[in-house]
Amino acid sequence: MNLEPVAQNLVFGLFVGGLYGIAAVGLSLVFGVQKVLNVAHGSLIMLGGYASFWIFTWYGIDPFLAIAITGPLLFAFGLVLYFGLFRFVTRLREEERIKNSLLISFGLTLVLENVAIQLWTADERAITTSYAGEGTTIGDIAFPYTRVAGLIVAAICVFALHAFLTRTFAGKAIRATSEDWEAASLMGINVQRTYAVAFAIGTALAGIAGALVGVSYLIAPSIGLAWTLKALVVVVLAGMGSIMGAFFAGVLLGLAEALSIYVFGTSYREVVGLVLFVLVLLVRPQGLFGRR
**Closest CA relative to residue 34, chosen from 150, 141, 178:** 178
Least confident of 8-17, 133-142, 173-182, 259-268: 259-268
Tell me which of 133 and 76 has the higher pLDDT: 76
Q: What is the pLDDT of residues 85-125, one digit of tens each?
A: 999 898 888 778 888 999 999 999 999 999 999 999 999 99
Q: What is the pLDDT of residues 37-49, one digit of tens each?
A: 999 999 999 999 9
**Closest CA relative to residue 223, chosen from 94, 105, 122:** 122
CA 149 to chain centre: 17
pLDDT for residue 251 is more than 90: yes
pLDDT for residue 2 is more than 70: no
Average pLDDT over residues 264-287: 79
Buried b (16+ CB within 10 A) or exposed e, 16-46: bbbbbbbbbbbbbbbbbbbbbbbbbbbbbbb
Least confident of 37-41, 61-65, 96-100, 230-234: 96-100
* Domain boundaries, given as residue ranges, for the chain: 23-225
Tell me which of 9 and 55 has the higher pLDDT: 55
33 with 195: CB under 8 angstroms?
yes
Q: What is the pLDDT of residues 198-222, one digit of tens each?
A: 999 999 999 999 999 999 899 999 9
Q: Which residues are bridge partners to 194 per DSSP? A: none
Distance CA(286)–CA(86), nearest Å, equals 25
For residue 77, the model assigns a pLDDT of 97
Write down the pTM of the prediction: 0.94
